[in-house]
Chains A and B, each alone.
Chain A
Amino acid sequence: RKEVEQDPGPFNVPEGATVAFNCTYSNSASQSFFWYRQDCRKEPKLLMSVYSSGNEDGRFTAQLNRASQYISLLIRDSKLSDSATYLCVVNANNFNKFYFGSGTKLNVKP
């Protein structure tokens, strides 16, 4: 079983739509969770950390469900510029080691 699993998509949504992705992780001892955004052939960039209590940053909301071992990312009022691949990142037992999901591709269309 993979450490981190994501639906690869693509998710094709119109501008202004609300879209959500989930990411499941296998290690119940994982402590740190992040969402990264990666544009085509570019390096991943941190979008937001995911806190136990959930957190929001503008149009983006991240949630953690420890019982079911998944994290989610909700994007409201989608913009064309949100089109990218969203990577879920979870740390391993060794805090310094992280595992990346394969990414979920989002296409926001006019």
Chain B
Amino acid sequence: GAVVSQHPSWVICKSGTSVKIECRSLDFQATTMFWYRQFPKQSLMLMATSNEGSKATYEQGVEKDKFLINHASLTLSTLTVTSAHPEDSSFYICSARADRLGYGYTFGSGTRLTVV
């Protein structure tokens, strides 16, 4: 089936540093990928829609200069958390639509970011 590979699975970083998270579609092309964030006991919240070859679309309240998204190819989207702070600690998940699955979306395994 359609697989989305997300790396790293977890990362601990110091406050003020930047962290890059990769999301790859392994056996299909994804013109659009989505980045979500999930705080403990809360729902997945869409942060941004990543479009191959163009600028990402950010949801209201998400700082585009802080969460840099690059979707340079049909199989890779990256999210960079710049100047991370403890309040950015969260579970970040990407997803992509695999058309042969119908309208369902496939998710990466998630990245647990802890900023200390």
Residues of A near any B CB (own CB < 8 A): 4, 8, 32, 34, 41-46, 49, 87, 91, 96-103
CB-CB < 8 A to A46: which residues of B? 101, 104-106
A101 touches B43 (CB 8 A): yes
Taking a contact as CB atoms closer than 8 A, the residue among B36, B97, B104, B112 that contacts A41 in the complex is B112
A-B contact pairs, 6 of them (CB 8 A): A32-B103, A42-B109, A44-B107, A45-B107, A100-B46, A103-B43
In the complex, the chain B residue whose C-beta lies closest to that of A44 is B107
Q: Are B109 and A102 in contact (CB under 8 A)?
A: no
Min CB distance, B93 to chain A, in Å?
6
Main secondary structure of the interface of B (DSSP, over half): strand
Q: How far is the CA of A60 from the CA of B109 in the complex (A)?
A: 24
A-B pairs under 8 A by CB, number: 48
Q: How far is B27's CA from A9's CA once the two chains are assembled, in angstroms?
A: 37
Considering only residues 6-49 of chain B, those with a C-beta below 8 Å from chain A are 6, 32, 34, 36, 41-46, 49
B42 near A102: Cβ-Cβ < 8 Å: yes
Assuming A43-B93, A103-B43, is B110 touching A98 (CB within 8 A)?
no
A103→B46 CA distance, assembly (Å): 15
Q: What chain A residues lie within 8 Å of B34 (beta carbons)? A: 98
Given contacts A43-B109, A43-B110, contact A98 B104 (CB under 8 A): no
Q: Is the CB of A43 within 8 A of B104?
A: no
Q: Is B91 an interface residue (CB 8 A)?
A: yes
Given A46-B104, A49-B103, A49-B104, answer yes or no on A98-B109 (Cβ-Cβ < 8 Å). Answer: no
Residues of B within 8 A of A (CB): 6, 32, 34, 36, 41-46, 49, 91, 93, 97, 101-110, 112
Q: How far does the Cβ of B99 sit from chain A's closest Cβ, in whole Å?
A: 12
Instruction: Check B42–A98 contact: CB distance below 8 A.
Output: no
Chain A: CB-nearest residue to B94: A43
Q: Which residues of B contact A87 (CB under 8 A)?
A: 43-44
State whether B110 touches A96 (Cβ < 8 A).
no
Closest to A32 in B: B103
B49 & A97 in contact (Cβ 8 Å cutoff)? yes
Q: Is the CB of A96 within 8 A of B32?
A: yes
Closest residue of A by beta carbon distance from B109: A43
